[in-house]
Amino acid sequence: MDDSTLRFTSSLDVDSALAFYDIMGSLAHVRMLKKCGIIPAEDADLIIDGLKKIEKTLEDGELELDENLEDIHTNIEFKLTSMIGPAGGKLHTGRSRNDQVATDFRMYLRDAAMEAVDKVDDLIMALLRVAEDNAETIMPGFTHMQHAQPITLAQHFLAHAFRLGRDADRFVDAVDRMNKCPLGSAALAGTTYPIDRKMTADALGFKEPTENSIDSVASRDNVSELAFCAAMTVVDMSSICEELVLWSSQEFGFIEMDDKYTTGSSIMPQKKNPDIAELIRGRTGSIIGGLVAMLTMSKGLPLSYNRDLQEDKGAVMDALDSVTFSAEMLAKVILTTDYHKDRMLEVTQKGFINATDLADYLVTKGVPFREAHGIVGESVRYCIENGKGLEDLSQDEFRQFSPKIEDDIYEFLPVKACVERRNSYGGTSSASVDTQLSLAIKQLMARDDSVREETQFIEKCWEELLN
């Protein structure tokens, strides 16, 4: 192979991250070969001992890789053979690089996705803690970035928590769907050796073997699905970041971020820049790009394995790493930010945020909603022309728009009353928010328990393979 061909085809800079999983996959494979009598027991024991020593070297950070070998799999196999001699060459019996790579990458993605879920759940917990402390913090709710109706900061952050919860659930669902073992599919058609695929699947913590050997080595829908999960999650985080950037501006003044999670200007000493929020928002583009790259790479591939699939790793690995780190940093920002409750309440006095409540009031007096809508519009126009708010109008002023408006209107218009009357399921009243908070905590705890059990199970599998 020409040196330029080696450089062009090498994947070592990316797939070196699979070293641990390659060793684990090989340990499971050789134990199966020994049990099934496919290779001599003494050779299998030599291979197992050698792989354990390589894993220890990796754990100690002393594993040296040969850049003249094209990938991590070849590096480990050559290292094993140089350590134990010709017996090392028997490790590859009954498998191909195709099913080996597919298996290693699934194990890597399983762990990386669970780590992402863990950090997203930490972010959700941060949102829930702020929500719990701000059940009575009233702020404007927005549609079209215009003041719409008064809400609480608690309900606003709960909205982010629930959609991030769905993001975490998508990761968990995707892992469950991909948690089948390709090992034993060989190049594409299976193998003539009497292997036990269930044994290797169990040893590596998979639910079961994959059903079709061609599909096992050809398909990367699991990678694309995780790329989508990452993209959707960071899109939702970017939404939070956009709000934090806006809210920290002088125009909004809703929040002040902690100095530890902001940066200063190189020339303007008075500035505090929300750089973490901006960077998460900016990195969304590359993560979405990873999804587009996976789908584009996959769209024209015939069955079964094609070398194009070597390009399935880098972008998705980066995307999962970025989501994990971004969620970790955003949680710190959320928890340390100072939320200016008085400012949030102050701005609810602008923009006629209680206009809908005046319309609802008229409906309770028997006025059809569409007619009430028109009456309120006229009232708001009058207020604008006279520099008043709806709550500032006198009884006589109200009556020029509708005789149905009585003295009890003043119980309807304060923003606190507007919030508390919205007590429908999922609404912004304190009672509704308490219900949402309890539900969000319950969902979070259930997912955390599930992820912890899966993580502990996988760790137990590694311990058994290394013993």
Q: What is the DSSP letter of 273?
A: B
Q: Which two tokens stand for residue 9?
A: 């085809």
* 138, containing H or E segment: strand 138-143
Q: Please tell me the distance from the alpha carbon of residue 117 to that of residue 172, in angstroms, as a whole number.
A: 8
Q: Please tell me the distance from the alpha carbon of residue 322 to that of residue 235, in angstroms, as a whole number.
A: 12
Q: Is residue 231 within 8 Å of 291, Cβ to Cβ?
A: yes
SS3 122: helix
Q: Is residue 156 within 8 Å of 341, Cβ to Cβ?
A: no
What is the DSSP secondary-structure string of 348-413?
Answer: TTTTTTTHHHHHHHHHHTT--HHHHHHHHHHHHHHHHHHT--GGG--HHHHHTT-TT--GGGGGT-
Q: Which two tokens stand for residue 322?
A: 């970025």
394 as an active site residue: the answer is no
Given the residues 82, 249, 265, 438, the one annotated as active site: 265
322 as an active site residue: the answer is no
- Cα–Cα–Cα angle for 440, 257, 350, nearest 5°? 80
Given the residues 144, 266, 394, 424, the one annotated as active site: 144
Q: What is the DSSP letter of 91?
A: G
Beta bridge partners of 140: 150
Listed residue (416, 427, 206, 232) closest to 320, CA to CA: 232
CB atoms within 10 A of CB 77: 20
Residue with tokens 């960077």: 279
| CA torsion through residues 168, 170, 171, 172, sign | positive
* 151, containing H or E segment: strand 146-152
Q: Please tell me the distance from the alpha carbon of residue 400 to that of residue 381, in angstroms, as a whole number.
A: 13
Q: What is the DSSP letter of 337?
A: P
Q: Is residue 213 within 8 Å of 190, Cβ to Cβ?
A: yes
How far is the first Cα of the chain from the last one, in angstroms, to the nearest whole number?
39
Would you please indicate which residues are annotated as catalytic (active-site) residues? 144, 265
